[in-house]
Amino acid sequence: MSKYWSDFVHQLVPYVPGEQPKIDNLVKLNTNENPYAPSPKVLEALRAEANEALRRYPDPTSSRVAEAAARWAGVEREQVFVGNGSDEVLAHAFHGLLKHDKPVLFPDISYSFYPVYAGLYQLAFQAVPVNARLEIQIDDYARDNGGIVLANPNAPTGIALSRAEIERLLQRNPDSVVLIDEAYVDFGAESVVGLVARYPQLLVVQTLSKARSLAGLRVGFAFGQRPLIEALTRVKDSFNSYPLDRLASAGAVAALEDVPYFEDTRARVIASREALRGQLTQLGFSVLPSQANFLFARHPSFGGAALAQALRERAVLVRHFRAPRIDEYLRITVGLPEENAALVKALGEILGAR
Ligand SMILES: *Cc1c(COP(=O)(O)O)cnc(C)c1O
């Protein structure tokens, strides 16, 4: 607090990211980063771009990235917006497309940045409860709204909606924007990017942070019809004309083009997830069906906070949310096979020592 703060800053409630501690030999399964390195072609492209051209501003429209993303997604170049991480894309979408006089709808259990953006841009919202199995019920969104935001797969549950369910929502909700946050879609869910051509209210947001192993590069996208992209561009050009620097642009293009590496690493993560799910189940955990690179699990006789703390003492970091309805759960990022083995070993010790 400070007398220099504006009233606006006094009332902000910022997002709290998972910790990034500087501890050696930590098994870090708390922020859904990819356990595999970025493609070697990305690193090559970054090195090649580290040259005297850095004295120049980058391309304000990130054209090469947008073209590569359009090719990847099967949409037109004009249907792509590029931002500094998908968090920035989401922020611009809240500001430019969801700020209306009616409440925005998103699930009560979802990405905790959504209410933060609503606060930042002073949007009214309603948190729509997920059901007892923590599933999103599409029918609950059939009400007057200023926009609908769903993460698919949802976070932190990992549960995915089918393309058919999202299409049903689009058919019923033609008058406000439907934003589908596909941060984790490449780990097994169905993307709705193919529906962009048919639904003018659909905005699909993706990122290179998860399935492309580039959380440190900060590149995200939105796919939608031209009027939606134009709104995002107007907000961007009123905020920061150059969201992507030259290095990020070069790395992003290389990442989008190295499809074999992407296919290989995401298949490994999916296989590890399924193996880990089996091991956690054997330890007595209930594990939600995840289509993401993390598992959301609870143990019948240990609370989430106690387990997270006991794991921390064994140098294993997972995420626990001190929030209603999910306080018993742990969100565990799928790591390398040896990291997952270290987690299972630590859990075995903790649970065995009762
Ligand atoms: C990780 C994540 C993002 C943000 O990704 P960045 O592109 O790194 O900003 C967005 N939405 C959800 C649901 C996420 O989990």
8-state DSSP, 59: P
Cβ of 31 less than 6 Å from ligand 1: no
Q: Are 264 and 252 in contact (CB under 8 A)?
A: no
How many whole angstroms separate alpha carbon 158 and alpha carbon 290? 4
* Tokens read off for 281: 């189940």
Sheet holding 286-287, edge to edge: 286-287, 294-298, 329-333
Q: Which of 86, 106, 113, 219 to mutate to test the pocket of ligand 1 (most atoms within 8 A of CB)?
A: 86
Show the CA angle centred on residue 229, arms to residues 221 and 246, nearest 5°.
45
Q: Contact at 8 Å (CB) between 282 and 321? A: no
Question: Cα 298 to the chain's mean position, in Å?
Answer: 22
CB of 203 shorter than 6 A to ligand 1: no
Token duo for residue 260: 């074999």
3-state secondary structure of 298: strand
Distance CA 238, CA 26 (A): 41
CA proximity to 107, closest of 151, 43, 164, 48: 151
181 C-alpha to center of ligand 1: Å? Answer: 8
Nearest to 103 by CA among 139, 128, 86, 120: 128
Whole-Å CA distances, 147 to 126, 174, 251, 258: 11, 10, 33, 35
Mutate to test the pocket of ligand 1, among 203, 207, 319, 321 (most ligand atoms within 8 A of CB): 207
pTM for the model stands at 0.97
Give the separation between CA 167 and CA 161, rounded to whole angstroms: 10
Amino acid at 205: V
Residue with the smallest CA separation from ligand 1 atom 5 is 86
182 within ligand 1 shell (Cβ under 6 A): no
Nearest CA to ligand 1 atom 12: 183
Going residue by residue through the chain, which has 354 residues, state the pLDDT in tens, using 9 for 90 and above: 899 999 999 999 898 888 888 877 899 999 999 999 999 999 999 999 999 999 999 999 999 999 999 999 999 999 999 999 999 999 999 999 997 889 999 999 999 999 999 999 999 999 999 999 999 999 999 999 999 999 999 999 999 999 999 999 999 999 999 999 999 999 999 999 999 999 999 999 999 999 999 999 999 999 999 999 999 999 999 999 999 999 999 999 999 999 999 999 999 999 999 999 999 999 999 999 999 999 999 999 999 999 999 999 999 999 999 999 999 999 999 999 999 999 999 999 999 865
CB of 207 shorter than 6 A to ligand 1: yes
Q: Is 183 in the pocket of ligand 1 (CB under 6 A)?
A: yes
Query: Which residue blocks in 26-162 are alpha helix, DSSP H?
Result: 40-49, 63-73, 86-97, 113-120
**CA separation for the pair 186, 50 (Å, rounded):** 30
